[in-house]
Amino acid sequence: MTVGLIDYGAGNLHSAHNALTKLEVPARLVREPADLEGIDRLILPGVGACVDCVNQLKEQDLWGPLGDWIEADRPYLGICIGYQILFDHSEEFEGADGLGTLAGQVKLFPPSELKVPHMGWNALSLTDRQDPLWAGLPEEPYVYFVHSYYPVPEDLSLVSAWCDYGIRFAAAVRRGNLVATQFHPEKSQAIGLQIIKNFAAGAL
């Protein structure tokens, strides 16, 4: 089993690669379409602005192959921006569209007494405890977030975990072999390592 880690020059690549190394999971950096050969599972970690991610993936000729991979229902884990780009549009995109794999929008947190970006540890409310991606996790696992925007899927049946931060938002989704999280498993210590381990081991 070889996991491909998409390197678009601005993702949280180092932490994600370290997590895979710690788990002794064979991993390969994906910087161009040819690098997808021999890959069994694909992870797109992301930080920063959605529009920068979209533009860089297009520049590296990975935008189309990424969409093809997901549409073929091949195993994919999108983290943070790797989650947000799955939707039709984001308030952050500034004219750039997402993949449109999932119907919905990505919105900025509304004004409140809470700080934005949402940064720190929060509990997840899992919608399906039998989902193998959550195997080995406690009832309400705490994970690490860093984000100002959050996806709003049209199909709420895809939501696999919720989180509350002033509002209730979709912290993770699943559709077939596609899983994506707004939180950062690679920064969520033992809980996050377990999630990555489950993904790499075929928990889809």
Tens-place pLDDT, residues 137-153: 999 999 999 999 999 99
* Helix, strand, coil percent content, the chain, rounded in steps of 5: 30, 35, 40
Q: Give the residue with greater pLDDT, 180 vs 8.
A: 180
User: Count of alpha carbons within 13 Å of 64, Cβ hemisphere only?
Assistant: 5
- pTM for the structure as a whole: 0.94
Average pLDDT over residues 4-22: 88
Domain annotation for the chain: domains and CATH numbers? 3-200 (3.40.50.880)
- Give the tens place of pLDDT for each residue, 62-100: 999 999 999 999 999 999 999 999 999 888 766 568 899
| Stretch among 23-27, 37-41, 45-49, 58-62 having the lowest mean pLDDT | 45-49
Catalytic residues: 80, 184, 186
Q: Is the pLDDT of residue 113 over 60?
A: yes
Q: What is the pLDDT of residue 1?
A: 81
Q: What is the pLDDT of residue 166?
A: 92
Question: In Å, what is the CA distance from 138 to each residue of 19, 90, 133, 135, 160?
Answer: 20, 32, 12, 9, 15
Q: What is the pLDDT of residue 152?
A: 96
Q: What is the pLDDT of residue 204?
A: 63
- Evaluate whether 75 touches 204 at the Cβ level (below 8 Å): yes
Q: Tell me the pLDDT of the chain averaged across its residues.
A: 93
